[in-house]
Amino acid sequence: MSAGILGIGKYIPERVLTNFDLEKMMDTSDEWIRTRTGIEERRIADDKTNTSDMAFMAAEKAIENAGLKASDIDMILVATVTPDQPFPTVACMLQDRLGARHIPAMDISAACSGFIYGMVTAKQFIDSGTYKHILVVGVEKLSGITNWEDRTTAVLFGDAAAAAVLGPVSEGRGILSFELGSDGSGGKNLYQDGNIIKMNGREVFKFAVRQMGESAVHVVEKAGLKKEDIDFLIPHQANIRIMEASRERLGIPEEKMIKTIQKYGNTSASSIPLALTDALENGVVKDGDLIVMVGFGGGLTWGALTLRW
């Protein structure tokens, strides 16, 4: 027995903010954003929609997709750096709103690596037999901490939620290997200052290119796999150039990398599960496929895993 994904769901806000819209708001261009980042548009939640609202809508779908009821969930983990407030956590708000039992619920703060941190945490409780069904949500309302006067960061981010229910699956499927890490000395390159994100883009870029590539290679080796075994790479959708660098480091062809950055921008903790949900909805990922997920984020943090679907 191992831990795998039993169901998945997403929520994306209706409002689309294109690069052309941003051209009207600040000194930037569609051409610059597209060529430097790969982003064409992103979704922005309205004022009434909070992080917990988006998390709830994605979570409901994931539980239904798993063929379960809220009462079947044994633990809730919410990866986010944009909770409604520091406490009560989004996870506790979800416990109540979903009508789940009085189960453990907590937020995980690991920025863009948060969903992988959540999946690996869930795996420990499932592998040990402690809990059976664990809801893991990746959700961000980054528009709420974006400085719309800073073109070096404002063009990058979007809002979204995606959720997965993890549970026991047969041996050889689910999460086969993982790696998590952190380096707090790099925290100064990407942080929240008051109500806004501050970033040293070039330093984060250099770190991400090196770490994403290394971690992806490590988890493939740890699982005793070769690059030929990989069906899909789902990297954190931060910048197409960073994503491409990790694909090249793994030595896999372009068509094996799942790419949604053009539609959603960087949605931090929800980026990886959002890309997976899209790929499943479009029939791209199929039964038995071997997926490598890899992310990095503020902290600095990183995480990667291999998953047999």
Active site amino acids: 112, 236, 266
- Segment lying near ligand ACO (by CB under 6 A), choices 72-80, 119-127, 178-186, 196-204: 196-204
Residue 297 touches ligand ACO, criterion: CB under 6 A: yes
Q: Which residue among 50, 52, 143, 239 contacts ligand ACO (CB under 6 A)?
A: 239
Contact between residue 191 and residue 298 where contact means Cβ atoms under 8 Å apart: yes
Residue 191 touches ligand ACO, criterion: CB under 6 A: no
What's the min distance (Å) between Cβ of 157 and ligand ACO? 7
Report the site for ligand ACO in 200-219 (rule: CB under 6 A).
Answer: 201-202, 204-205, 208
Q: Rounded to whole angstroms, how far apart are CA atoms 185 and 9?
A: 35
Phi-psi domain of 38 (left: phi exceeds 0; alpha: psi -120 through 50; beta: other): left
Residue 152 touches ligand ACO, criterion: CB under 6 A: yes
Q: Rounded to whole angstroms, how far apart are CA atoms 190 and 226?
A: 33
- From the number of C-beta atoms within 10 Å of its C-beta (0-12, 13-18, 19+), residue 85 rates as exposed
Residue 243 touches ligand ACO, criterion: CB under 6 A: no
CA-nearest of 146, 156, 155, 109 to 267 is 156
Residue 266 touches ligand ACO, criterion: CB under 6 A: yes
Closer to ligand ACO by Cβ: residue 180 or 290 = 180
Residues 6+ apart with CB under 8 A from 107: 77, 78, 79, 80, 83, 89, 90, 91
What's the min distance (Å) between Cβ of 55 and ligand ACO? 17
Closer to ligand ACO by Cβ: residue 4 or 295 = 295
- Site residue total, ligand ACO (CB under 6 A): 23
**Tokens representing residue 47 in the block:** 């004022």
Contact between residue 223 and residue 177 where contact means Cβ atoms under 8 Å apart: yes
Residue 279 touches ligand ACO, criterion: CB under 6 A: no
Residue 88 touches ligand ACO, criterion: CB under 6 A: no
Closer to ligand ACO by Cβ: residue 35 or 130 = 35
Q: Rounded to whole angstroms, how far apart are CA atoms 244 and 148?
A: 28
What's the min distance (Å) between Cβ of 271 and ligand ACO? 9
Q: Rounded to whole angstroms, how far apart are CA atoms 149 and 146?
A: 9
Is the peptide bond preceding residue 22 cis, with omega within 30 degrees of 0? no
Closer to ligand ACO by Cβ: residue 152 or 170 = 152
Strand partners, 107: 78
Residue 190 touches ligand ACO, criterion: CB under 6 A: yes
Report the site for ligand ACO in 27-86 (rule: CB under 6 A).
Answer: 28, 32-33, 36-37
Q: In the complex, which residues of this chain contact ligand ACO (CB under 6 A)?
A: 28, 32-33, 36-37, 111-112, 151-152, 155, 190, 199, 201-202, 204-205, 208, 238-239, 266, 268, 297-298
